[in-house]
Amino acid sequence: MSLLETRGITVRFGGNTAVDDVSIGVDEGRITGLIGPNGAGKTTLFNTVTGLQKPASGRVLLDGADITRLAPARRAHLGMARTFQRLELFLSLSVRDNVRVAGDILRANTRHRVDVDKETDRVLSRTGLGDIAHLEMSDVPTGRARVVEVARALMTSPRVLLLDEPASGQTEQETEDFAGLLAGLAAEGLAICLVEHDLPLVMKLCSTIHVLDYGAVIASGTPKEIQESPEVIAAYIGTEEVTA
């Protein structure tokens, strides 16, 4: 059984079915990829898993426990963390305080007692943000800002980390460093779910990939299987060609 599981999640907006009966799992120590064209329902699925969106039906399980009805904050306390596709950083705080406040929140809302300052320094150096820690958030370019979101999520010592297009806006070098960081985190036992349009990155990092199209999973498997799957080529790469 996976650490994080969705069972038959369906989300509807009015008459539109944005997510259609999706059941996937995210395992400890591995990076699970979630790909699909724009509007396939990836972010909606993330929102449902993290509690920002109520599903019409289906369940979300964390470590076997049903968390479908829990508030986002409660899920965070249970070890879930995420980043946002459209950056949700705290623009009136410095980079360091953006990371540090996650520790403050943890201390104030749970019985978890961490040395916030020490932990902040550790996470900043681990994510390679030491050189920009003093900057105001609004002065940080998008590529690094994505890393700040990851660092902030790591402050909560998560068991499962959901990343929503973390590499978009990054330079080639930044993406490479980022890939190293993710691989390292997974090796330490973190369960990571990665939504990303940078296919080479996904193929390189993920052990399992699920392909979403029109809200439904149309293929699952190893990178190799996905690359060779005729459905994926038809639905995913095919549509891209049409729109292009």
Partner 1 sequence: MTTFLTFTILGLVLGSVYAIAASGLVLTYNTSGIFNFAHGAQAMLGTFLYWQLTYGWGWPMWLSLVVVVGVVGPAMGAILHALIMKGLRDTADVTKIVVTVAILLGMLYLSQWIWHPEEARIMEMFFGSGAKIEFAGVVIRVHEIICLVVAAAIAVGLRLLFTRSRVGVVMRGAVDDPDLLRRCGHNPDRVAALSWAMGSTLAVLAGVLITPIGGGALEANALTLLVIDAFAAAMFGRLRSIPRTFVGAMVLGMTATYVMAYFPTDWTWSGNFRVSLPMIILFVVLIVLPQDRLRGAAIRTRERYRVPTVRKAAVWGAVLVAVVFLLTLLMEETSVTTFALGMTFAIIALSLTVLTGYAGELNLAPLSFGAVATIVAFHFGVSGTGLAARLTLWGILLAVLVTAVVGGLVALPALRLRGLYLALATMAFGVFLSTMVLRDTVEHTLFGRTFSIFPNGTLIVPPLKIGPLDLRDPETFLLTATALFSLIAVGLVALRGSGYGRRLAAMKDSPAAAAMLGQNLVKLKFGVFMISAAIAGLGGVLMASASGSVAGENFAVMASLGLVMLTVVGGIGYISGALFGGLMSGVGFTIMVGTFNDLAAATPAMETIYKSLGQLAMVATALIGMGVGKNPSGTVHDIIEGYRSLRKARPVLIGGAVAEAVLYVLTLTGVIGNWWFAILSACLGMMLPVFGKMIMPEAVLSEEELARRRSTPLELEGIDEPYTEELRRRLDRELGLPSGVDRAPRVPAPRAAEEGDVHVVA
Binding site for partner 1 (CB under 8 A): 50, 52-54, 71-73, 76-77, 81-82, 84, 86-93, 97, 100-110, 116, 138, 152-153, 155-156
Residue 86 CB, shortest distance to partner 1, in Å, is 4
CB burial of residue 131 (10 Å; 0-12, 13-18, 19+): exposed
Q: What is the dihedral of CA 103, 106, 111, 115, to 10 degrees?
A: 0
Q: Judged by CB, which is closer to partner 1: 46, or 236? A: 46
Long-range contacts of 26-29 (CB under 8 A, 24+ apart): 26/2, 26/160, 26/191, 26/192, 26/193, 27/2, 27/3, 27/191, 27/207, 27/208, 28/3, 28/159, 28/189, 28/190, 28/191, 29/186, 29/187, 29/188, 29/189, 29/190, 29/191
CB of residue 230 vs partner 1: minimum separation in angstroms? 34
Measure Cα distances from 35 to 108, 121, 140 in Å: 36, 33, 27
**Nearest to partner 1 of 86, 134 (CB atom):** 86
**In the complex with partner 1, which residue's Cβ is closer, 63 or 97?**
97
Q: How far is the CB of 87 from partner 1 (least distance, A)?
A: 8
Q: At its nearest, how many Å lie between partner 1 and the CB of residue 97?
A: 6
Burial (Cβ within 10 Å: 0-12, 13-18, ≥19) of residue 113:
exposed
CB of 48 to partner 1, least distance (A): 12
Which residue, 73 or 237, has its beta carbon nearer to partner 1? Answer: 73
Nearer to partner 1 (CB atom), residue 36 or residue 79: 79
Q: What letter would DSSP give residue 234?
A: I
Residue 206 CB, shortest distance to partner 1, in Å, is: 23
Structure tokens at 243: 């729109």
Which residue lies nearer to partner 1 by CB, 195 or 219? 195
Extract the tokens encoding 24: 């996937």
